[in-house]
Structure 1
Amino acid sequence: MRIGLIGTGRIGTFHAASLCRNREVGSLVVTDADLARAQALAHRIGATTAPGVDEIFTWGVDAVVITTATAAHAELISRAARAGLPVFCEKPIALDLSGTLSALRDVDAAGTVLQMGFQRRFDFGYVRAREAVREGRLGRLHTVRAMTSDPAPPPAAYLPLSGGLYRDCLVHDFDALRWVTGREVVEVYAAGSDAGPAMFREAGDVDTAAVVLTLDDGVLATATATRLNGAGYDVRMELAGEADQVAVGLDDRTPIASTEAAGPPPADKPWPGFLERFAPAYEAELAAFVDVVRGERANPCDGREALTALRIAEACERSRRERRAVRIDEVPGA
């Protein structure tokens, strides 16, 4: 199998190395707007460099992996669909609903595969939590708490391009919430704070956010996020039911200290970032994509899943601006 990868930044570099380790991938072709960066990566991992995106689509690849900046995702997805190629794309499809829906229509019209990069679906802890819920081990679920805390803000130049904290960061929690519980979000109430560095206010974004979400079976969930968690990278989910409760992301690298005398000690090596925390999950989702391309498994996360998570994020942004509860069906999605 020959795969073309477009975008050789941080996550693209990780995915390229993962694909080169996959024994079903016979060759990898990489390209990037920064061609020197793509050439350097190809030299390190034994891949081939394409001089541009056009060559990715003319050199006979069997599938495409998109890890470019977000602004290019939708166009590349559509182009791959028209070429009849299966695509793996890092989230999101686009930062707006119209761009997302346009790309999805192209995929549907072509009858091709689009797998989205929501890696938490492949993380051991989230998988186990999903099993606990689906098997009824927690009893009737009543509360879910999700959180994503980045240790430091991204560069100021990234913020206006990110789509904001709900679309860029909490969208992972929204997808994981749906996937783990098997339920749909029907209403949100969101708040945000821009009391941190001025660059967030200048970008019209917030550095910290909190959301209350109501699921279609009455379960209440909360989701919080911040860009300013100095203790380290902290991603967790807690699920509480009438019979039991479980926690995802609670281990000896979780960057939190107990104030109890008999509590666990602080983490010696807290997680520094998402690549370290989710490395096995990123590896697993690319392996799954290779299996999808080979026809050996169904698509585990198609583009409609990304659309649903984006609609929740859009509802949160509207709720924050208008200071009211927003139902998901207020956000267009067809």
Structure 2
Amino acid sequence: MTTLGVIGLGRIGAFHTDTLSGLDSIDGLVVTDERPEVVAAVAAKHGATPVDSVEALLASGVDGVVVSAATPAHAELTLAAVERGLPTFCEKPIASTAAESARVAEVIARSGVPVQVGYQRRFDAAFAAAKRAVDDGSLGALHTVRSTTMDPAPPPMEYIAGSGGIFRDCAVHDFDVIRWITGQQAVEVYATGSVQGDPKFAEFGDVDTAAVVVTFESGTLGVVSAARYNAHGYDCRLEVHGFEDTVVAGWDQGVPVRNIDPANSFPEGPAHHFFMDRFTEAFRAELSAFVDVVKGDALPGCTVADAVEVAWLAEAATESLQRRVPVSIKEVRSR
């Protein structure tokens, strides 16, 4: 019998609750949010147990916790669950800054409680196959890895105002993937970007279009591109180039591009609308894997230590964008 608690029932929290309610390995759900009417609605939809506070949820006898509240609350909520000895799944990021993420990671490491961080691309079938191709050596030494994320439209400006910027709330998924795929540590980042859409991005010190070059310890280059405007659909692709071979992920029938080669009808669509339909099965696999962590049958698929490294990458990219110079990971860590 496995019962999980879900803290935070906004867009991603409600989506996770939908996913969890469909898993055979879950016997019960306990849910909470700051909005009582939302708690009541979600509980009624899924037959979950509603509670009126985080404290009540943590004391309810759950076996593990899913933290999907707003980003500023991630660290506090995750540590509260860990202090209770509860295995925890925390949506990315684990904290608002890299330095705070590192502090939280130290506390979690001392506790010995397993914590998994929500980077679902690792659980996508195509991305996982690309990782296996790298690990089995069939690509040879890697020279370039390219990762792309383009949203169909920007999130609300209220979200942008507190998100920390495009590298902390969007491109972090690309940073995690290229680290995971290469199995290497990043040493230097150069980032650039521009505002070509809503001028409010500039008011918040952000950009709506960005590109990053990441240099890894072996010399492998990671090339990341991110954009807030891609009305055709949600575009998420990966290319892994080795000396012997190349593999790609995300080039499926739903990739939102128009192939103008008259002899080729690929892709036939329909285009992926948003990340939740593109990665539905990946989210399901990710949360299923977390249930195995709760049961003690597996280790977290993405660790807090991984999330900290991603946070340093995002920090370096943000600083590089602001200063218009390459920034080393060692430099941002030393502050």
Please indicate the TM-score interval, normalised by the length of the shorter structure: over 0.9
Please tell me whether the aligned partners of residues 97 and 333 of structure 1 are also in contact (alpha carbons under 8 angstroms). Answer: no
Structure-1-length-normalised TM-score: 0.97
1:25 paired residue number = 26
Q: Per-residue deviation at 1:142?
A: 1.4
2:145 paired residue number = 144
SS of equivalent residue, structure 2 residue 190: strand
Within 1, Cα distance between the matches of 2:59 and 2:138?
51
When structure 1 is superposed on structure 2, of 252-261 and 144-153 the one drifting more is 252-261
Within 2, Cα distance between the matches of 1:97 and 1:217?
24
Q: Per-residue deviation at 1:105?
A: 2.6
Within 2, Cα distance between the matches of 1:162 and 1:81?
25
Structure-2-length-normalised TM-score: 0.96
Superimposed CA distance per residue, residues 310-332 of structure 1 (whole angstroms, 9 cap, x where no aligned partner): 10010001111111111111122
The correspondence of residues 170-185 of structure 1 with structure 2, limited to 5 A, is: 170-185=171-186
Within 2, Cα distance between the matches of 1:123 and 1:273?
15
Amino acid at match of 1:210: A
Within 2, Cα distance between the matches of 1:333 and 1:116?
24
Structure 1: which 5+ residue stretches go unaligned? Answer: none
2:165 paired residue number = 164
Amino acid at match of 2:127: Y
Q: Per-residue deviation at 1:265?
A: 4.6
The correspondence of residues 282-293 of structure 1 with structure 2, limited to 5 A, is: 282-293=283-294
SS of equivalent residue, structure 1 residue 262: coil
Structure 2: which 5+ residue stretches go unaligned? Answer: none
How many matched pairs? 334
The correspondence of residues 232-311 of structure 1 with structure 2, limited to 5 A, is: 232-265=233-266, 267-311=268-312
The correspondence of residues 73-152 of structure 1 with structure 2, limited to 5 A, is: 73-152=74-153
Please tell me whether the aligned partners of residues 82 and 106 of structure 1 are also in contact (alpha carbons under 8 angstroms). Answer: no
Please tell me whether the aligned partners of residues 33 and 53 of structure 2 are also in contact (alpha carbons under 8 angstroms). Answer: yes
* CA 139–97 in structure 1, closer or farther in 2 if over 3 Å, else same: closer
SS of equivalent residue, structure 2 residue 152: coil
Q: Per-residue deviation at 1:17?
A: 2.2
The correspondence of residues 207-246 of structure 1 with structure 2, limited to 5 A, is: 207-246=208-247
1:34 aligns with 2:61: no
Within 1, Cα distance between the matches of 2:111 and 2:269?
50
Q: Per-residue deviation at 1:333?
A: 7.3
1:187 paired residue number = 188
Please tell me whether the aligned partners of residues 148 and 236 of structure 1 are also in contact (alpha carbons under 8 angstroms). Answer: yes
Amino acid at match of 1:105: E
* CA 251–333 in structure 1, closer or farther in 2 if over 3 Å, else same: farther
Within 1, Cα distance between the matches of 2:103 and 2:58?
20
Q: Per-residue deviation at 1:197?
A: 0.8
Within 1, Cα distance between the matches of 2:154 and 2:11?
16
SS of equivalent residue, structure 1 residue 75: helix
* Superposed structure 1 runs of 4+ greater than 6 Å apart: none
Amino acid at match of 1:327: S
Within 2, Cα distance between the matches of 1:267 and 1:197?
31
